[in-house]
């Protein structure tokens, strides 16, 4: 049984099983995320009314699933696959939340030395729904680290879905 990190309080057993099934997913190494996986994360986030994060290594394996924002579900430095502070960790974070990318999530990206942080904004109130009944993704943000002391990250403009 795979561990679900973050705020599990109030989740039904069916939601826990949905989150655990994310560990079985594999993502292609040449893409940050597939549309199907993005929609699956958005659907779960919509159902539980909380942000959901998935951490994926460079081989495409889901290594951590958490309920909460990237700042709330971050991986401790001792659990990162690469310990050197000069290299990226080899992990990307995919988060679904109703609010835009925030500074706390960006700071978590820096602390973990993530390859990338993808934040998908979904409809938090459940009014916009796709055909299959899941939460609709409204925009996507991509952030990554840059070698700049003042601002160690860059964030893309929101990409509408």
Quick one: the chain helix, strand, coil %, rounded to 5?
25, 30, 45
In angstroms, the CA 117 to CA 32 distance is 9
Chain center to CA of 54: 4
Could you read off the pLDDT of 6-25 as tens digits, one per residue? 999 999 999 999 999 999 99
Helix, coil or strand: residue 95: strand
Dig out the tokens for 134 from the structure: 């899941």
Q: Are strands 153-155 and 137-145 parallel, antiparallel or unpaired?
A: antiparallel
Model confidence pLDDT, tens digit, residues 132-156: 555 789 999 999 999 877 889 999 9
Distance from C-alpha of 122 to C-alpha of 96, rounded to nearest angstrom: 7
Residue 142: how many other CB atoms lie within 10 Å: 18
Contact 145, 113 (CB under 8 A): yes
User: What percent of the chain is predicted at pLDDT more than 90?
Assistant: 70
Q: Name which residue leads in pLDDT, 98 or 56.
A: 56
Global pTM reads 0.89
Contact 22, 40 (CB under 8 A): yes
């Amino acid at each position: 049984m795979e561990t679900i990190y973050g705020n599990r309080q109030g989740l039904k057993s069916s939601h826990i099983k949905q989150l655990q099934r994310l560990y079985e997913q594999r993502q292609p190494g040449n893409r940050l995320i597939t549309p199907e996986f993005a929609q699956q994360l958005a659907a779960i986030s919509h159902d539980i009314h909380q942000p959901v994060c998935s951490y994926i290594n460079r081989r495409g394996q889901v290594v951590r699933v958490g309920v909460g924002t990237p700042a709330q579900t971050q991986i401790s430095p001792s659990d990162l696959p690469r310990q050197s502070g000069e290299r990226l960790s080899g992990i990307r974070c995919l988060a679904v939340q109703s609010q835009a990318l925030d500074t706390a999530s960006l700071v978590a990206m820096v602390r973990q030395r993530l390859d990338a942080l993808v934040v998908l904004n979904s409809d938090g109130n459940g009014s916009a729904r796709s055909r299959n009944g899941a939460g609709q993704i409204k925009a996507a943000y991509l952030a990554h680290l840059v070698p700049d002391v003042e601002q160690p990250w860059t964030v893309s403009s929101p990409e509408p879905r």
